């Protein structure tokens, strides 16, 4: 159902929410194969596909926004997340694909269309030239080889291999970010917070330093990544990776989706080391041939994780203890 609420603050500013609670079962509260959305404040009902409704609401907010006032619009589509559902018309161009991939391709086409509608609303309002648009996925494709294809990346969603953590992303701002530019520097989603804070002119100081770093020079000036090292936690406390330059260390990696294993994929303590420039598919484990690099990165990983919050909880995270000898615990 949809909750659509205005909150009035003392400064006379409005925050609007348009929330869809999926309960893990459907894009839909199925009613003639449509999604049912209810406004709890007014009792009104909207029917339609969630991707269409989210785009419609985002476009409405842009249309009604005062052109001389700043706007922050966060638009998290439920597509192309499971459950995999889409109006049949969107699968028509993809009949050459397997059935599941037809649906996923159709869902992606619907999201693409929705983003185009939001961009058109910005153009019509005259806001496009002064708007930074950021697009990003949150994880790699699930079920590689079946639901999706992540080639040449290894594995998929729920893993710490590149197929699980390297995602499609772009940023566009006419006159600010050079067009048609591909950036190969390592960046992380957490970098957006300090970057946007700086762009808005808000105070950057806070009690605890943010995990991210300002990436605006990387996007606009071709600068190198501000990260000397990037911690890449998995979906369980024992699975984690570290990126340092071209190198990547993985601890207890698995090709299985962590959501599917439900803890049955026991930690082995195995360490893997890859040079991503030479081996983006993570096929050639260099842990035994580059022991110095392995030791350097493991030491850095231990230091970074020391005060981190464990996955799924608020207790201190720790890396599994190193094995001191064969057969010893």
| Pairing mode of beta strands 45-48, 35-38 | antiparallel
What local confidence, expressed as pLDDT, does residue 18 receive?
Answer: 59
The pTM (predicted TM-score) of the whole model is: 0.83
In a domain, 260, yes or no: yes
Which tens digits make up the pLDDT trace of 258-270? 767 665 566 678 9
- Which residue in 204, 213, 141, 131 sits closest to 171, CA to CA? 131
Highest mean pLDDT among 5-9, 114-118, 316-320, 321-325: 114-118
Checking if the pLDDT of 95 tops 60, the result is: yes
Name the more confident of 255 and 321: 255
In a domain, 93, yes or no: no
Which tens digits make up the pLDDT trace of 200-249? 999 888 888 888 999 999 999 999 999 999 999 998 888 999 999 999 99
What local confidence, expressed as pLDDT, does residue 266 receive?
Answer: 60
Buried/exposed code over 112-130 (b: 16+ C-beta within 10 A; e: otherwise): eebbeebbebbeebeebee
Average pLDDT, the chain: 83
Q: Which residues contact 222 (CB under 8 A, 6 or more apart)?
A: none
In a domain, 244, yes or no: yes
In a domain, 255, yes or no: yes
Q: Which residues contact 69 (CB under 8 A, 6 or more apart)?
A: none
What local confidence, expressed as pLDDT, does residue 37 receive?
Answer: 47
What local confidence, expressed as pLDDT, does residue 31 receive?
Answer: 30
In a domain, 263, yes or no: yes
Q: What is the mean pLDDT of residues 49-60?
A: 93
**CATH number, residue 259:** 3.30.1120.10
Quickly tell me which residue has 């109006």 as its tokens. Answer: 87
Checking if the pLDDT of 328 tops 70, the result is: no
What local confidence, expressed as pLDDT, does residue 269 receive?
Answer: 85
What local confidence, expressed as pLDDT, does residue 7 receive?
Answer: 36
What local confidence, expressed as pLDDT, does residue 68 receive?
Answer: 87
Q: What is the mean pLDDT of residues 283-297?
A: 98
23-26 — which CB contacts under 8 Å span 24+ positions?
A: 25/83, 26/83, 26/85
- Which residue in 273, 179, 166 sits closest to 219, CA to CA? 179
The number of folded domains in the chain is 1
In a domain, 43, yes or no: no
**Secondary structure of residue 140 in the 3-state scheme:** coil
Phi/psi for 299 (5° steps) reads -60, -40
Checking if the pLDDT of 8 tops 50, the result is: no
Helices in 144-240 by DSSP H: which ranges?
162-165, 192-200, 216-221
Which tens digits make up the pLDDT trace of 119-171? 999 999 999 999 999 999 999 999 898 889 999 999 999 999 999 999 989 99
Contact 132, 138 (CB under 8 A): no
What local confidence, expressed as pLDDT, does residue 48 receive?
Answer: 85
What local confidence, expressed as pLDDT, does residue 203 receive?
Answer: 87
Which tens digits make up the pLDDT trace of 269-278? 899 999 999 9
Domain span at residue 255 reads 230-305
Q: What is the mean pLDDT of residues 76-104?
A: 93
In a domain, 42, yes or no: no
What local confidence, expressed as pLDDT, does residue 258 receive?
Answer: 72
In a domain, 88, yes or no: no
Query: What percent of the chain has pLDDT above 70?
Result: 78
Angle at 192 between CA 188 and CA 153, to 5 degrees: 25
Residue 311 in tokens: 């996955």
């Amino acid at each position: 159902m949809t909750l659509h609420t205005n909150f009035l603050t003392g400064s006379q500013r409005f925050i609007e929410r348009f929330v869809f609670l999926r309960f893990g079962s459907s894009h839909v509260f199925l009613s003639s194969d449509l999604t049912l959305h209810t406004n709890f404040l007014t009792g009104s009902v909207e029917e339609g596909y969630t991707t269409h409704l989210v785009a419609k609401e985002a476009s409405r907010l842009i249309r009604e926004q005062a052109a001389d006032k700043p706007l922050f619009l966060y638009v998290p589509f439920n597509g192309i997340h499971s459950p995999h559902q889409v109006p049949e018309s969107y699968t028509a161009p993809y009949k050459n694909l397997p059935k599941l991939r037809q649906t996923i391709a159709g869902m992606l086409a619907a999201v693409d269309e929705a983003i185009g509608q939001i961009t058109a609303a910005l153009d019509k309002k005259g806001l496009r030239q002064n708007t930074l648009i950021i697009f990003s996925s949150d994880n790699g494709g699930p079920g590689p080889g079946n639901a999706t294809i992540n080639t040449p990346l290894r594995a998929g969603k729920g893993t710490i291999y590149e197929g699980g953590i390297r995602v499609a992303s772009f940023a566009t701002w006419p006159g600010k970010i050079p067009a048609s530019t591909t950036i190969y520097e390592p960046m992380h989603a957490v970098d957006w917070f300090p970057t946007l804070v700086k762009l808005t002119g808000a105070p950057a100081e806070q009690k605890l330093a943010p995990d991210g770093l300002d990436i605006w020079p990387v996007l606009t000036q071709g600068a190198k990544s501000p990260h000397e090292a990037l911690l890449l936690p998995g979906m369980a406390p024992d699975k984690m990776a570290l990126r340092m330059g071209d190198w990547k260390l993985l601890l207890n990696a698995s090709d299985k989706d962590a959501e599917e294993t439900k803890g049955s994929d026991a930690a082995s303590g195995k360490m893997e080391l890859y040079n991503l420039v030479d081996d983006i598919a993570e096929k050639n484990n260099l842990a035994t041939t580059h022991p110095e690099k392995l030791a350097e990165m493991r030491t850095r990983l231990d230091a970074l994780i020391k005060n981190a919050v464990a996955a799924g909880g608020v207790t201190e995270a720790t890396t599994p203890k190193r094995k001191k000898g064969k057969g010893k615990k």
